[in-house]
Amino acid sequence: MSNKKGFTLWFTGLSGSGKSTLSRMIEGELRQRGASVEVLDGDEVRENLSKGLGFSKEDRDTNVRRIGYVAKLLSRNGAAVITAAISPYAEVRDQCRLMSRSFVEVYAECSIDELTRRDVKGLYAKAISGEIKNFTGISDPYEAPENAEITVNSETQTAEESLAIIMGYLEENGHIAGVAASA
């Protein structure tokens, strides 16, 4: 463990809601401030820790718990950890919260209507047609958090606005030092 204060910034939200984009923006901001940062992206973690798991509730929960375990290890060693998996189930998110010492949940909110309209990767169309099964928000549940520390919304805010909200929260709560007016 480290004397540096690690924390876990845990995104949750539907596919396309802005989790990965915001994660990379925050990563850049934190690195500029000299922090030790690790982004645990949903796809990368599945590849490295959960190959063979599917998208049943049980398999999703196992995958998310593994992300939580790695976030725990990294954050207690002083890293700023950002996770960007859909993590649809509230109970497992709460288990992950208990594992990490400084856990900040960020709800990346966006309506299904808007996500279906954007559909950058064409996934929503395939989910609606049934070509993709178990798609969160369409054919699989998504449990929005009721007590997230931060909520951002890619329908009503620009990414820069959301970034400012998150960075502001991290500063105000002592997770990162404010940008000092250095000489």
Enumerate binding residues for a second copy (CB under 8 A). Answer: 1-4, 34, 36-38, 48-49, 51-52, 62, 65-66, 69-70, 73-74, 77-79
**C-alpha–C-alpha distance, residues 113 and 144, integer Å:** 16
Integer angstrom CA distances of residue 127 from 62, 122, 154: 23, 9, 21
Please give the single-letter amino acid code of residue 2.
S
How far the first Cα of the chain sits from its last, in Å, is: 33
**C-alpha–C-alpha distance, residues 66 and 33, integer Å:** 28
Specify whether 87 is catalytic: yes
> Minimum Å distance from CB 136 to a second copy?
22
Choice between 74 and 163, CB closer to a second copy? 74
Choice between 60 and 154, CB closer to a second copy? 60
Choice between 8 and 154, CB closer to a second copy? 8
Choice between 99 and 128, CB closer to a second copy? 99
> Minimum Å distance from CB 27 to a second copy?
11
Residue 106, SS3? strand
**C-alpha–C-alpha distance, residues 9 and 150, integer Å:** 10
> Minimum Å distance from CB 137 to a second copy?
27
Residue tagged active-site, from 17, 75, 87, 100: 87
Question: How is the beta sheet containing 103-109 ordered, strand by strand?
Answer: 37-41, 80-84, 7-12, 103-109, 150-153
> Minimum Å distance from CB 77 to a second copy?
4
| CB contact at 8 A, 96 and 64 | yes
Catalytic residues: 87
